[in-house]
Amino acid sequence: MNKSNELNLLVSEKREVAKDILEFRFAAPDGSGLPPFSPGSHIAVMTPSGANRQYSLINVGHQPEFYQIAVKLEPESRGGSQSMHADLGIGDPVTVQAPENSFPLIEAPEYLFIGGGIGITPLVGMASFCDANDKPFRLIYCARSEEHAAYCEQLKSTFGDRVVVHFDGGDPEKAYDFWEEFMIPNANHTYCCGPKPLMEEIQALSGHWPEEQIHFEDFNPQSGREYINSPFVVSIKSTGESFQVDEASTILETLRSNGLRVPSSCESGTCGSCKMRLVAGEAEHRDFVLESDEYDSAIMVCVSRGRGDIEIDFEDY
């Protein structure tokens, strides 16, 4: 994490809001106000496992007394959500970064919000902001079932017929038909957050729309790329240590689990915080930061991997 933006907060609330989804609220130990944020913002949270994960903010951020997020338990994940569910309780300290916004709400005549599953979280705050500021909007919320739909009843009771909820039971044949929403382009803006198939569908259906009117929130830019992970050995020149990086781990996670602290923030290859020197070997660059003339001398250890064994080192060594 970037220490200059770190906030040391406490867990003030923890509750279940849907099956396998827990809501957390983080507040200052002295009860003071927190840095404000705009609709669509997120925070990076240092999970109890040591992983750094980004979560959309749900509450309105004009003068926040807490940050509200929701975390879905992902059994097949690399441990971040599992540690949040199992190891973070009310009263525990938690380190977060000040809010950032990569999904900002742009001025438009009307908004269409499309959320799938846990992707509803940033849209709750957007809908609340629009409601408070008399901005026209509609929200389409797709989920497997009612028990999996966080904030479903709250959204329906607060926003009435501006909200459409659709349950497909996990059957692709029963998915919501979005074609009428995108058949004829207009001046409205669409904001979509959810699983990969939903966002791919919206992207395809809106292909004849101006690109700047369709917005997506995706904390894993790598998800649209097909990569095959192979194990390799990473060596640290300044310490003389070597570690095996297996198929399911990143270099960053491997170094962290062996007691080496590497600065990090997004952990998705977009911010540049975890840049290290590439001393020897060839890297498979999966980030969105490095220029091509840096490929032989640097590596982003949160997402990139070695094409075989590599040697790296800390930039300031």
Q: Which CATH class is domain 3-97?
A: mainly beta
CATH 3.40.50.80 fits 111-219, yes or no: yes
Asked if 250 contacts 285 with a C-beta cutoff of 8 angstroms, the reply is no
- Cα separation, 238 vs 48, whole angstroms: 28
**In this predicted model, what pLDDT tens digit does every residue of 180-228 receive, in sequence order?**
999 999 999 999 999 888 999 999 999 999 999 999 987 665 544 567 8
% of the chain with per-residue pLDDT over 70: 94
Flag whether pLDDT at 149 surpasses 80. yes
Mean of pLDDT values over 231-253: 94
pLDDT of residue 292: 84
Distance CA 278, CA 297 (A): 5
Beta strands per DSSP E along the chain: 6-18, 21-27, 42-46, 52-56, 67-72, 93-97, 111-116, 137-143, 163-167, 189-193, 214-217, 232-236, 242-245, 275-280, 283-284, 298-300, 305-306, 310-313
Residues in a beta bridge with 306? 283
Q: What is the pLDDT of residue 220?
A: 60
Instruction: Round to whole Å and give the CA distance between 168 and 177.
Output: 11
> In this structure, how many other beta carbons lie within 10 angstroms of the beta carbon of residue 150?
26
Query: By the 8 A CB rule, do 115 and 72 touch?
Result: no
Cα(290)–Cα(276) distance, integer angstroms: 11
CA dihedral for 140, 143, 146, 149, sign (positive or negative): negative
Q: Which residue has better confidence, 227 or 87?
A: 87
pLDDT at position 49, please? 84
Q: How far apart are CA 25 and CA 69, in angstroms?
A: 7
Planar angle of CA 52, 81, 216, nearest 5 degrees = 75
Enumerate the domain spans of the chain: 3-97, 111-219, 232-313
Sign of CA dihedral 246, 50, 311, 298: positive
Most distant CA pair in the chain: distance in Å? 63
Contact between 213 and 236 (Cβ < 8 Å): no
Q: For residues 235 and 243, what is the distance between their CA atoms, to the nearest angstrom?
A: 6
> Residues near 173 by Cβ (< 8 Å), separated by ≥ 6?
none
pLDDT at residue 218, as a whole number? 73
Sign of the alpha-carbon dihedral angle for 51, 55, 61, 63:
negative
Mean of per-residue pLDDT scores for the chain = 92
The confidence score (pLDDT) of residue 278 equals: 96
Token pair belonging to 9:
């907060």
* Architecture, CATH, for domain 232-313: Roll (3.10)
Judged by DSSP in three states, 317 sits in coil
Instruction: Write out pLDDT tens, residues 26-56.
Output: 999 999 999 999 999 999 999 998 888 889 9
Burial class (CB in 10 A: 0-12, 13-18, 19+), 29: exposed
Length of the chain: 317
Helix axes 121-132 and 152-159, enclosed angle (nearest 10): 20
Q: Indicate the pairing of strand 163-167 with strand 137-143.
A: parallel
Q: Which two tokens stand for residue 202?
A: 């919206």
